[in-house]
Structure 1
Amino acid sequence: MKALKLVNETADHVKLVDMPEPTPGKGEVLIKMQAAALNHRDQWCREGKYPNIKFDVVLGSDGCGVVEQLGSDTDETWKGKSVIINPNINWGSNPEVQSAKYRILGMPDNGTLAEYVVVPVDRLTEKPTHLTPEQAAALPLCGLTAYRALFTRGKLKRGQNVLVTGAGGGVAVYALMFAKLAGANVYVTSGSKSKITQAVALGAVEGFDYNNEKWAQTSLKSSGGFDLIVDSTGGQMINQYLRILKHGGRVVIYGASSGIPKTLDVFRIFWNQLTIQGSTMGNDQEFEQMVDYVNRTQMLPVIDSVRPFSDIVTAFDKMKQRKQFGKLVVKF
């Protein structure tokens, strides 16, 4: 079978290879993949920016396919079903925080960027019937991350003002759509005018170009302040966020693409009763809640592009250039 591995012997650090089709063991299933999607963690692995890099591993955390073969002690009813894969491994017993043994499918374990994948049967969820395999493949990691950040950590309520930063990335687009469906007033930031236009077309009230030095003042005047900011950038921008939060507001951070802030306006945090929270992926219960939310609302994931698996490296290159709006998907 064809698979995309993280390798150390090429400048690209990713390589399409032929490898044996895996065999499911006890409590496992073999899935014939129909579609898979990229996440930033795949590109960060490629660039050597992800912790505990392990080479000669199949990348990929998102995927949709059909259960083709069952291992022993596996429920027979799964055979032939169209499924999506929960990429969590060993979240642990505490729903609030992942365990020390937690990891994500696709490094260090072989992931979804292959024609066949073996996973434990308890990682399976039936594909929402209103989604195509390509749409369903785009859902798991980013959908779960956005869901937890908004609802579990952000405690989003109908009618609140929400700012989603970095519109265009997979999690940000899901956060925009989930929040809009929940009855929030959603605003976005981006360094791209075209991405702001696309976000507004999806239901954002307004977008702000973070390259404009006065974007924060403009957003405060337009919105009256934010109850919740969902952010993946970190860095010095955090102090801008603190200025535009309503009293009692919160920032939920699920990434730090701009690094660590050199200063932090602590006075504003305690005086305005603000909360800064971290969030990452989500537990298994939240995964099921997220899929149920997509089913109930009949939401359609936003896909930037779909290409054949043989062209997957071009998808990585587009992600590196940050040109996508929504998910980059490959089909098998």
Structure 2
Amino acid sequence: MLAAYAVTADLEKPLNALEVGEIDPPAVPTDWVTVRVKAAALNHHDVWSLRGVGLPAERLPMILGCDAAGVTEDGREVVVYAVINDPGYAGEDETLDPRRSLLSERYPGTLAELVRAPARNLVDKPTGLSFAEAACLPTAWLTAYRALFTSGALRPGDSVLVQGAGGGVSTAAIMIGRATGLRVWVTSRSPERVERAVALGAHRGFAAGERLPEKVDAVVDSVGAATWSHSINSLRPGGRLVTVGTTSGADLRSAELTKIFFKPLQVIGSTMGTRSELEAVLHLVANTGIRPIIDRVLPLAEAADGLAAMASGDLFGKIVLEP
């Protein structure tokens, strides 16, 4: 089958580690369900995998991809939930399983014509969503939803700063926040991206690092090192910094520890979400009419072009591949 997969690791030039071509479907547990992929969305996780982060050499070659929507062999239209739990895990929050993985880490991912997953990892696709739109939800939109409401504990009327307009998580947080009654501010290095973010629903936009006119209740930060100090300085006393990614790197000049304990602030790590939270995201999108922003749709054979755009930051919203 046609797939995009990592054959090696290259920290500096991740696209050198990519192959796009025919590959035999790797073995997975026999009771998993086969899904014919109609659309798969790219995530920064795919670029990190090509760099070798979380993907050791003994697991190569590995089909990339966490997100997909497709059709099972019996005709059911589904969205694939990417968190794979240890068979012995009995907790309610899948993200707390110490042995969890994502599709494309231990088991083949979604950037292929077929993907297999446990039956419980398949969620019904709302009829009003296209396959391309549905494929954007299981990572970026799920991450944003959990960051805002589970980790960030925000309620209608609260204020939130979203760091870095343009990425999948950021655009999702803006649209979800606006649709649910939050006061949403956003930052970007690009005035054009600020303008587009405001058009999406952000109430105000600011240049990266710009001092805000007032402190906010929470910050959703997927950028990491480049925005960390600004995030800390933007919070009201008792506010919450929800960190969901490190696209600019993880090495901080200062952790701002004095400000964190003196204000006092909460710093909360948040990753992905539960299956039930993904169902909530699907219901929210179906019932409010908001839709993921899709930067471009490419054929699977052109996966390298999509991954290159993601690695360079040349996108606004999600990049979708269609087999």
Would you call these one fold, judging by a TM-score over 0.5? yes
Contact 1:23-1:30 within 8 A present in 2 as well: no
1: CA distance between counterparts of 2:232 and 2:23? 50
Following TM superposition, the consecutive aligned residue runs of length 4 or more in structure 1 with deviations greater than 6 angstroms are: none
Kindly indicate whether residue 11 of structure 2 is the aligned counterpart of residue 36 of structure 1: no
Give how far 1:309 is off.
1.2
Verify: 1:216 aligned to 2:210, yes or no: yes
Separation of aligned partners in 1, 2:20 and 2:226: 39
Which shifted more, 15-24 or 31-40?
15-24
Gaps of 5+ in 2: none
Secondary structure of the structure 2 residue equivalent to 1:31? strand
Q: When the two structures are aligned, how many residues end up with a matched partner? A: 314
1:81, 1:269 → 2: CA distance?
Answer: 48
Distance in 2 (CA, whole Å) between partners of 1:237 and 1:302 is: 23
Q: Give the Å deviation of 1:50.
A: 4.1
Query: Do structure 1's residue 253 and structure 2's residue 243 form an aligned pair?
Result: yes
Aligned-pair CA distance for 1:260: 3.0
State how 1:285-324 maps to structure 2 within 5 Å: 285-324=276-315
- What letter corresponds to residue 23 of structure 2 in structure 1? M
Equivalent residue number for residue 238 of structure 1: 228
Q: How many Å apart are 1:152 and its aligned residue?
A: 0.3
| Contact 1:37-1:329 at 8 Å conserved across structures | yes
1:84 to 79, 82, 85: 79
Gaps in structure 1 of 5+ consecutive residues: 69-78
User: What corresponds to 1:141 in structure 2?
Assistant: 139
Give the fraction of aligned pairs with identical amino acids, expressed as a percent.
36
Tell me how large the CA RMSD over aligned residues is.
Answer: 2.1
Q: Distance in 2 between matches of 1:28 and 1:128?
A: 22
Q: TM-score, normalised by structure 1?
A: 0.88
Q: How far has the Cα of 1:236 moved from its partner?
A: 6.0
1:325 to 311, 316, 319: 316
Could you tell me which residue of structure 1 aligns to residue 122 of structure 2?
A: 124
Deviation readout 1:44-96 (Å, 9 max, x if unpaired): 1112344546320111111111102xxxxxxxxxx201111000111741528
Pick aligned residue for 2:51 from 36, 47, 52: 47
Q: What corresponds to 1:263 in structure 2?
A: 254
Q: 1:306 to 1:272 in 2, by over 3 A?
A: same
CA contact (8 A) 1:22 1:116 kept: no
* Greater relative contact order (CA < 8 Å, ≥ 6 in sequence): 2
SS of the aligned residue for 1:140 comes to: helix
Which residue does the alignment assign to 2:265?
A: 274
CA contact (8 A) 1:22 1:117 kept: no
Preserved contact between residue 187 and residue 206 of structure 1 (Cα < 8 Å): yes
Q: Select the structure of larger CA radius of gyration.
A: 1
Partner letter of residue 89 of structure 1?
I
Query: Residue type of the partner of 2:306?
Result: A
2:179 is the counterpart of 1:227 = no
Alignment of 1:189-200 (within 5 A): 189-200=187-198
What SS does the corresponding residue of 1:290 show, helix, strand or coil?
Answer: helix
Amino acid at match of 2:303: I
SS at match of 1:125: strand
| TM-score (normalised: structure 2) | 0.90
Who is 2:71 aligned against?
66
Q: Counterparts of 1:91-110 in structure 2 under 5 Å?
A: 92=89, 93=91, 95=93, 97-110=95-108
